């Protein structure tokens, strides 16, 4: 907006300067011509008076007095003619013939004035208009050379005005960007905001309050629902374990299937609870987590000996170890469930630069370009995935959500004709990143 105001100010200044220059040039030309015509009229009146005086002094006719009166005149730079009908009686000065008939614009480049004299004579006087062109040329060059200075001043003034005009908006933008999860909008740094911006800020505060209330209700609902579901699920599983222990031969298979379904429900509830967390809030009280230990632990639980796992001794991040284990578990579990090729599952953990990176390759699996982002949608399962294994379609979505809670991400980095490969990125932890604690 500041750039637009600056450009607008410069454009207005440039157009105004051009219009003002054109108007000033035209006005100057009109005024100069009017002044020249008035001077010609005055000079013509003076010459007529001189002819009359010469006639009286010399006791001659007007025709006889006209040549002598012209010789004694001091009209410099002008051409003067005295006509008697179509006959030229007297002439003074250089230039084209004026003539006894015609209008004042009859000679190009000259300003002409004609005045009748006694005894049927006509006085014609003309001066060149080149002086006006020279004056206008000087004026035009002056405007041309002054234009860069005017534009520079307009640019500076425009920037100053733009900064002052947009300062309240920039302050509002900064305060909005610095907002944390469910934090109220802080007051402006200065109280000189215009009324329109104050109304905009009030509208934003009202909207922000409604959003805060909506998010708060959703969080409470997710927390309460998860809490209420956990207890009955735990009781049902306990009762199933007791029934299986009391009569393993009669009810063993049915109870085993029931316990598996209960475990699925428990994982679903835990996943929904994690997904209900706001990624912008992050993990407020994180701990140092060695992702290499987590990957080794999860890999030993899920993968067999054919999997190719490359894990360093240490890959330290800051966060919640249980959540990070969920993300790693879901990536390895996804590879185990959808592995369809002869090659082994590959899990490579690297620790370099600013990221701890885990890449998991699923042999035989392919992901189309249109599915690269859809696989991260909650409860989305591709048609071919539905027939291969059970699930709720939350594994990859949950892994990405956990990564973003920690300031990282999960994405698909394989091509359409390559084995599916997913990458988990987490910011590496360094001791210098933490603020010093008082001790």
CATH number at residue 73: 3.30.450
**Alpha-carbon distance values, 27 to 15, 38, 131, 336, 411 (Å):** 18, 16, 15, 88, 71
Q: What is the pLDDT of residues 100-139, one digit of tens each?
A: 776 665 677 788 888 888 888 888 888 887 666 666 676 6
Q: Which residue has the higher pLDDT, 371 or 26?
A: 371
Residue 175 lies in a domain: no
Q: Cα separation of 72 and 75, whole Å? A: 9
Residue that is last in its domain, among 133, 154, 170: 133
Q: What is the pLDDT of residues 170-190, one digit of tens each?
A: 777 777 777 766 667 777 766
Residues 332, 350: one domain? yes
pTM of the model as a whole: 0.48
Residue 240 lies in a domain: yes
Q: What is the mean pLDDT of the chain?
A: 78
Q: Of the ranges 80-84, 147-151, 427-431, which one carries the lowest mean pLDDT score?
A: 147-151
Q: What is the pLDDT of residue 5?
A: 64
Q: Cα separation of 214 and 210, whole Å? A: 6
Residue 302 lies in a domain: yes
Q: What is the count of structural domains for the chain?
A: 3
Mean pLDDT computed over 399-411: 91
For 328, the domain range is 283-433
Whether the per-residue pLDDT at 273 is higher than 80: the answer is no
**Residue owning tokens 């909005």:** 176
Query: Percentage of residues in the chain with pLDDT exceeding 70?
Result: 77
Residue 297 lies in a domain: yes
The token pair at 417 is 């004709």
Q: What is the pLDDT of residues 343-354, one digit of tens each?
A: 899 999 998 788
Q: What is the pLDDT of residue 228?
A: 66
Q: What is the pLDDT of residues 299-346, one digit of tens each?
A: 998 888 888 999 999 999 998 888 899 899 999 998 998 888 788 999
Q: What is the pLDDT of residue 436?
A: 43
Residues 30, 73: one domain? yes
Residues 294, 263, 252, CA angle at the centre, nearest 5°? 125
């Amino acid at each position: 907006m500041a750039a637009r105001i600056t450009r607008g100010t410069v454009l207005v200044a440039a157009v105004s300067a051009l219009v003002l220059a054109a108007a000033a040039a035209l006005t100057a030309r009109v005024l100069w011509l009017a002044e020249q015509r008035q001077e010609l009229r005055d000079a013509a009146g003076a010459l007529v008076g001189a002819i009359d005086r010469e006639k009286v002094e010399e006791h001659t006719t007007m025709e006889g007095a006209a040549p002598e009166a012209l010789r004694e005149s001091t009209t410099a730079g002008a051409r003067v003619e005295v006509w008697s009908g179509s006959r030229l009686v007297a002439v003074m000065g250089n230039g084209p013939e004026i003539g006894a008939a015609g209008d004042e614009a009859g000679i190009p480049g000259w300003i002409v004035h004609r005045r009748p004299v006694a005894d049927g004579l006509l006085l014609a006087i003309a001066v060149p208009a080149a002086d006006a062109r020279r004056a206008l040329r000087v004026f035009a060059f002056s405007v041309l050379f002054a234009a860069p200075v005017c534009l520079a001043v307009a640019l500076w003034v425009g920037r100053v005005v733009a900064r002052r005009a947009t300062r309240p908006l920039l302050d509002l933008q900064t305060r909005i960007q610095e907002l944390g999860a469910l934090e109220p909008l802080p007051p402006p740094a200065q109280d000189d905001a215009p009324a329109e911006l104050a109304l905009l800020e009030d509208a934003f505060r009202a909207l922000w309050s409604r959003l805060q209330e909506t998010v708060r209700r959703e969080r409470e609902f997710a927390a309460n629902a998860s809490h209420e579901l956990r207890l009955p699920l735990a009781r049902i599983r306990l009762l199933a374990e007791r029934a299986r222990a009391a009569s393993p031969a009669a009810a063993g298979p049915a109870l085993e299937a029931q316990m598996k379904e209960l475990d699925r429900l428990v994982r679903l509830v835990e996943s929904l609870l994690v997904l209900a967390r706001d990624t912008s809030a992050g993990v407020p009280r994180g701990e140092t987590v060695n992702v290499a230990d987590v990957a080794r632990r999860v890999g030993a639980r899920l993968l067999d000996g054919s999997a190719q796992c490359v894990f360093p001794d240490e890959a330290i991040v800051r966060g919640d170890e249980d959540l990070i284990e969920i993300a790693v578990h879901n990536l390895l579990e996804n590879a185990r469930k959808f592995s369809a090729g002869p090659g082994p599952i590959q899990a490579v953990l690297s620790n370099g630069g600013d990221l701890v990176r885990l890449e998991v390759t699923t042999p035989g699996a392919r992901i189309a370009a249109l599915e690269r982002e859809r696989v991260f949608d909650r409860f989305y399962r591709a048609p071919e995935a539905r027939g291969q294994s059970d699930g709720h379609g939350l594994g990859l979505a949950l892994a990405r959500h956990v990564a973003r809670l920690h300031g990282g991400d999960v994405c698909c980095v394989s091509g359409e004709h390559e084995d599916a490969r997913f990458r988990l990125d987490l910011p590496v932890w360094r001791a210098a990143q933490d603020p010093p604690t008082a001790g």
